[in-house]
Structure 1
Amino acid sequence: MRNKIAKTGGFIIGCAGFLFIFKFVLLKRIPPSDEVAPGLVVLTSLLVGFLFSFLGSRFQKHLERRRHFT
């Protein structure tokens, strides 16, 4: 169950973080006349979420190994 917490938390943080950065940093710099594909934004958000999920899982495994050796 603990491993799923790290994966789920990483996914949520990754997706929300990307959408937050996209909304407040990147979207302000894009002129309204340019069209941004919403599907591409969502797809990129999911990919970043999966990346953070993988990193969260690896980080938790590293902490578990460290806890067993000490």
Structure 2
Amino acid sequence: MRASGGTFLTVPEERIRGAQLDLAARGLHVETTGAVCWAAVGDWTEGSVVVPLCGAGLKTGLAAPH
């Protein structure tokens, strides 16, 4: 990561749940592991970004808020 100038991001559980619910509201039913990517980009405003959304959400269901 250092050599390429990349960055690691951490995402708290509440943002992952919020991202999964946001995607569901947009008609995309993804697993929590796929929602992590959406949560990580959050309020990205610089240029374009491609977010891989994996899984159909059938294994974990929709995240329930605590």
**What range describes the TM-score normalised by the shorter chain of this pair?**
under 0.3
TM-score by length of 2: 0.26
Instruction: Return the index of the structure with the highest Cα Rg.
Output: 1
Tell me which of the two structures has the higher relative contact order, counting C-alpha pairs closer than 8 angstroms and 6 or more residues apart.
1
